[in-house]
Amino acid sequence: MRILAAMSGGVDSAVAAARAVDAGHDVVGVHLALSRAGGTLRAGSRGCCTIEDAMDARRAADRLGIPFYVWDFSERFRDDVIEDFVAEYRAGRTPNPCMRCNERIKFAALLERALELGFDAVCTGHYATLVDGVEGLELHRASDNAKDQSYVLGVLTAEQLAHTYFPLGTTPSKALVRAEAEARGLAVAHKPDSHDICFIPDGDTRGWLADRVGAAPGEIVDRSGAVVGAHDGAHAFTVGQRRGLRLGVPAADGKPRFVLEVRPVTNTVVVGPKEALATAEIAGARHTWAGSAPTASEFDCEVQIRAHADPVPARAVVADGLVTVRPDAPLDGVAPGQTAVLYVGPRVLGQFTIDRTVSAVPVG
């Protein structure tokens, strides 16, 4: 096949490209420039997609003997990922920018251009596997559960899966990938994994948002509606947060309180006891299926609400364009804007953005 290898400058994408070459494919490397701040350097393992990463990707491509290009996707990234991130926080939601990047950049914008240029597939260093199922191609978890990235790939559609290539999915551990990179003479063999939000490399999400959303003083209330504090902007709070609440009225039982809800219309933050974070039901309208859609309107599955959370057995109902999931055991600290990925065993069924949550603990 003609393969376009997305090379981030990290060890995973470099080894993935190398394996594509070893498999006999015609491989071309590409690095996505996602920021116009070309002089930015990463700080250790914080951030990614910097000029340093582009240079690391080029060196890896040179080592593999494949053509290499840098494509400027900064405007698309700004519009589809960064602006979406800000808009979601303004709406009182908790977005996942990595999910949006996979959905709208790596497997939409990049894949579209790749197909237009005659490539058969896009290769990435994600840890996930593709399986030929009875009804077509299926997305499955990676062999290494510790590195499994099928959650952040849950946004991929059947058509996109048909043009993807994940060479690392069956690798038992990340240590083996690093050892392979070293044996191949790749300089990124021991480069730290990136973490945090790539466009906020210092990790100060609250400060970054404050600069873009601005101050908007409001009230902090308990579940009964009583005012227990004040804030400078609801965007600075996320469901499940305990620290930094600066409450002026202590709880009657003296126990810590947590953020239960952010209400952007009234600019109000609702707090309450930890047990009130338990969620009995989640629902969302924005959904996709990773392969063939379920044939039944109700089915058993497992639901996962964070990249490294444990899957929880659940019952899903699809009706009137809405996916509703009732877990067998309450989920903890779920916020609108998060992504719920549905599994059956190792297989990813699909995903939806959570619009509504129902607490397992009634008010009163």
| Predicted pLDDT at 215 | 78
| Predicted pLDDT at 43 | 52
- Using DSSP bridges, classify how beta strands 322-327 and 2-6 pair: parallel, antiparallel or unpaired: unpaired
pLDDT tens for 12-54 read: 999 999 999 999 999 999 999 887 665 454 555 455 667 888 9
Average pLDDT over residues 296-304: 97
Task: Show which residues are catalytic.
Answer: 101, 198
* The three-state (H, E, C) secondary structure of 151-163, written as one string: HHHCCCCHHHHCC
- Using DSSP bridges, classify how beta strands 136-141 and 268-272 pair: parallel, antiparallel or unpaired: unpaired
What is the dihedral sign for C-alpha 189, 20, 121, 5? positive
Q: Rounded to whole angstroms, how far apart are CA atoms 295 and 106?
A: 29
pLDDT tens for 66-108 read: 999 999 999 999 999 999 999 998 888 888 898 899 889 999 9
Could you tell me if 199 and 82 are in contact, meaning their C-beta atoms sit under 8 angstroms apart?
yes
pLDDT tens for 226-274 read: 999 999 888 888 899 998 898 988 888 889 999 999 998 899 999 999 9
| Predicted pLDDT at 124 | 97
| Predicted pLDDT at 41 | 47
The pTM assigned to this predicted structure is 0.90
| Predicted pLDDT at 252 | 85
Confidence of residue 213 (pLDDT cuts 50, 70, 90): confident
Structure tokens at 98: 């990595």
| Predicted pLDDT at 167 | 97
Average pLDDT, the chain: 91
Q: Is pLDDT at 181 greater than 50 in this prediction?
A: yes
